[in-house]
Amino acid sequence: MKPAPFEYVVAGSWDEAVAALDGDSRVLAGGQSLVPLMNQRLVRPRRLVDISGIPGLIERRRGALRIGATVRQAALERSTLIAGGWPLLRQAVRHVGHPATRARGTIGGSVVHADPRAELICALIALDARFTLSSGRAVHGPLQLGPGELLTAIEVPRLQPFAKSAFVAYARTSGSFADAAVAVVLEPDRAADAVLGAGRAGEAEAAVRAGASATDAAALAADLVDGDHHRALVAELTRRALVEAGHA
């Protein structure tokens, strides 16, 4: 399990990183997904551009949360800004891998790697996050990077006062990829319900706003996924998440 030969470039800034990228390159952030794939030789880039040294901050800008792409997952767990204003991210990141992988893995790496089982993506979707790219573009919704484009930051809008959130997952063991997970954000006039790998459950959200019970709304969320056991998991996890976020 050693990678095929590759060239290694350290980028000190986003401009340097963009300049170093070509069609045969891959970006190395925390490496917790990419390096195992390279070690199995399933991914064989000619050049690796290491952006992990580019500084990234967790900060509040005009009320919104801005997280640099290279911020380690472990930093999300420790941030008091996140704990106070966007606790869903803290709730979700605890389901991502293990403490050792969270110490290296980055939030940007999770987003760009776009594994359908990525818990952080599910939470960011529930939070209506926007992705800022090196080209200056900002993307809301599914992230498609153009050639030579890099994710540089993630912006999460301010939540309304009295917002409540919950992240509930079922995984075979603590730290393994979840078989199903649900992120819920309930605000006085907004309900967000994101299902791992399937996006927002619009009908369930509408039902919650219309006063449906958690069980009834959860049944609608299950319609987003295939497979009867998977549906049962999503229904139960949605119900629990809604109850945990204060919806009966």
- State the number of binding residues for another protein (CB under 8 A): 19
Would you state the structure tokens that stand for residue 141, as one six-digit string? 């919704």
Is residue 42 a contact residue for another protein (CB under 8 A)? Answer: no
Residue 63's CB is within 10 A of a number of other CB atoms, namely 9
Which of 163/168 has CB closer to another protein?
Answer: 168
Altogether, the residues listed in the chain come to a count of 248
> Could you give phi then psi for residue 199, rounded to 5 degrees?
85, -160
Q: What tokens does 89 get?
A: 């991210």
Binding residue for another protein, selected from 13, 19, 40, 46, defined by CB under 8 A: 40
Stretch that binds another protein, among 14-22, 124-132, 203-211, 225-233 (CB under 8 A): 225-233
Residue whose CB is less far from another protein, 217 or 235: 235
Q: Is 216 in the site for another protein (CB under 8 A)?
A: no
How many Å apart are CA 41 and CA 3, to the nearest integer?
6
Distance CA 117, CA 197 (A): 6
144 binds another protein (CB under 8 A): no
Is 4 near another protein (CB under 8 A)? yes
Torsional class of 32: left (φ above 0), alpha (ψ -120 to 50), beta (otherwise):
alpha
Per CB under 8 A, 229 contacts another protein:
yes
**Contacts (CB under 8 A) with another protein, residues 152-181:** 170, 172-176, 179
Closest approach of Cβ 195 to another protein, in Å? 15
Q: How far is the CB of 160 from another protein (least distance, A)?
A: 31
The CA-to-CA distance between both ends of the chain, in Å, stands at 50
**Is residue 1 a contact point for another protein (CB under 8 A)?**
yes
Which residues have a Cβ under 8 Å from the Cβ of 164 and sit 6 or more positions away? 185, 186, 245, 246
Nearer to another protein, 221 or 233 (CB): 233
Least Cα distance to 157 among 134, 183, 130 occurs for 130
The residue among 73 and 152 lying less far from another protein, judged by its C-beta, is 73
- Residues in contact with another protein by CB under 8 A are 1-5, 40-41, 170, 172-176, 179, 229, 232-233, 235-236
